[in-house]
């Protein structure tokens, strides 16, 4: 079977029109479907305000500290029970600091820097403090504002 040039052009034009119409509908449908059915409505949630959950109050009481490696956050309590959230990345060369056994300082295992539980440098080689974050509890969750 053979087709002439005119028939070939006619079939190609029809194919182009069908492809264009289907492509437009799929693009429109995906966009509309995602917004209407898959994405929950915006709400003033904690994550939209920059707060992220790092654990529960019970976990903190049980372990003494909470850490989130993805956010580089450590949460602990001061002797008077105040929640403290810090970036646990040592500003010297980036190792993760952790509480000393006596719990009064945060120590870096790499080169010996030492910080108060509020993040102040007590001993170098680090020369800058650990950044602190806003922290709160809500519905038994400990939330840290990292952004």
Sequence-ordered alpha helix ranges (H) in the chain? 5-33, 57-63
Closest CA to 54 of 74, 77, 40, 82: 74
For ligand FES, what does the binding mask look like between residues 44 and 73, x meaning CB under 6 A?
Answer: ------------------------------
Q: 51 exposed, middle or buried (CB, 10 Å; 0-12, 13-18, 19+)?
A: buried
Q: How far is the CB of 141 from ligand FES (least distance, A)?
A: 30
65/92 with CB nearer ligand FES: 92
For ligand FES, what does the binding mask look like between residues 99 and 128, x meaning CB under 6 A?
Answer: ---------x-xxxx-----------xx--
DSSP designation for 130 = P
Residues in the site for ligand FES, rule: CB under 6 A?
Answer: 90, 92-95, 108, 110-113, 125-126
């Amino acid at each position: 079977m053979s087709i002439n040039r005119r028939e070939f052009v006619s079939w190609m034009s029809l194919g182009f029109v069908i492809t264009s119409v289907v492509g437009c509908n799929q693009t429109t449908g995906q966009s509309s479907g995602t917004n209407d059915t898959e994405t929950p409505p915006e709400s003033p949630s904690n994550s939209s305000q920059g707060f992220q959950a790092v654990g529960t109050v019970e976990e903190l009481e049980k372990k003494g500290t909470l850490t989130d490696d993805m956010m580089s956050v450590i949460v602990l309590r001061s002797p008077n029970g105040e929640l403290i959230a810090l970036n646990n990345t040592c500003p010297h060369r980036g190792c993760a600091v952790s509480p000393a056994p006596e719990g009064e300082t945060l120590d870096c295992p790499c080169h010996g820097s030492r910080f108060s539980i509020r993040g102040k440098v007590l001993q170098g080689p680090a020369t800058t403090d650990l950044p602190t974050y806003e922290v709160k509890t809500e519905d038994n969750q400990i939330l840290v504002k990292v952004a």
